[in-house]
Structure 1
Amino acid sequence: MDLKFIAKLHLKFYATLLIVFVAFSSAQAQRRSEEEIKRIQDAKVAIITNRLNLTPEQSTGFWPVYNEYSHKRKDIHRAQRKLINDKKAEGTTDEQVLDNLKEVQELRQKELDLEKEYQNRFLKVITASQVIELYKAERTFNDMLIQRLKQR
């Protein structure tokens, strides 16, 4: 057999092996990340459930509304981060920067409008005191999360 042919086979074999290893490592990291996100979400649910002291009937009505609210709020936050992070390109004019600031303000207003809308929806299934406790529980959870991230 030709040595060049054998060398090419070995090279292809190792390249394929490397690709499989990288793909496997990436999948493992993604799985760990998804598991960590799931644990964080479970902890948030536990804190909110504990602080609100929901009855079974309230729980049935509250969680679908809260999950919808939370998802929409995440989308707004994601859009804000994208605006702030992606539009840092060099060479932007003051006018472009002002446009970005205006977009960020519009997103903040959108978040405030969302909070008002969902506060009314929450009040249909839980009490006003529980709504206040919800906001406190979210703040407590976020503070705990930040502390854990700082410890890492």
Structure 2
Amino acid sequence: MKIKKILPLFMFLITFSFYAQNDKNLDEKRDKVKAYKVSFLTTELELTSTEAEKFWPIYNAFDDKQFELRHEKMKAYMSRLNDDNINSISEKEAATLLAQIESTDKELYLLREKYMSNLKKILSAKKILKLKKSEDDFNRKLLKQYRDKAGK
């Protein structure tokens, strides 16, 4: 399976695994990962000071909103989809839940579209591609660290 197909699943699973932990622990882990990501992206992107000044507020706002959508809404969906519930919900309830999931997916898409539009105002297309590649590299690196820790 291609890494591009695995990464979104991995990020979803990481987000989902955070739900089982208390909020303080979640915030600490998220802050650590975020700091590591900022450091990684700063090194990889080689932004000018002007670009960095405009880029980071846009990037952080996008990242926070994306996390909020995934964390809050998916938490609600997943709590309703445990093995016992999924077999006992009605078709109407399943359709409603599916519509809510689709709505969240749409919100995420529109958020990403707005984010890209904002990025195009401050970064070249080449740097935006470099950002995308760097984010993918970061996710692979994070996945590797996670696997290495789990294997020990």
**TM superposition score normalised by structure 1:** 0.71
Which is greater in Rg?
1
Q: Does 1:116 align with 2:117?
A: no
The CA distance in 2 between the partners of 1:64 and 1:41, in whole Å, is 14
Residue in 1 that maps onto 2:132: 135
Flag the 1:109–1:63 CA change in 2: closer, same or farther, 3 A.
same
- The letter for the 2-side match of 1:92 is I
- Which piece of structure 1 moves more, 43-52 or 68-77? 43-52
Flag the 1:101–1:124 CA change in 2: closer, same or farther, 3 A.
same
Residue in 2 that maps onto 1:93: 90
Q: Deviations over 1:52-86 (max 9, x none)?
A: 21000100010011100101110111134214311
Deviation at 1:140, TM superposition (A): 1.6
Q: Equivalent residue of 1:116, what SS?
A: helix
RMSD between aligned residues: 2.1
The counterpart of 1:57, out of the listed 50, 62, 68, is 50
The CA distance in 1 between the partners of 2:26 and 2:95, in whole Å, is 40
Q: Taking CA–CA contacts closer than 8 Å with sequence separation of 6 or more, which of the two structures ends up with the larger relative contact order?
A: 2
- Which piece of structure 1 moves more, 108-117 or 38-47? 38-47
The CA distance in 2 between the partners of 1:32 and 1:86, in whole Å, is 17
Q: Does 1:46 align with 2:39?
A: yes
Flag the 1:74–1:150 CA change in 2: closer, same or farther, 3 A.
same
- Please, which runs of 5 or more residues in structure 1 have no aligned partner? 1-29
Q: Does 1:82 align with 2:75?
A: yes
The count of corresponding residues between Structure 1 and Structure 2 is 122
- Please, which runs of 5 or more residues in structure 2 have no aligned partner? 1-23
The CA distance in 1 between the partners of 2:110 and 2:30, in whole Å, is 27
Flag the 1:32–1:56 CA change in 2: closer, same or farther, 3 A.
same
Residue in 2 that maps onto 1:146: 143
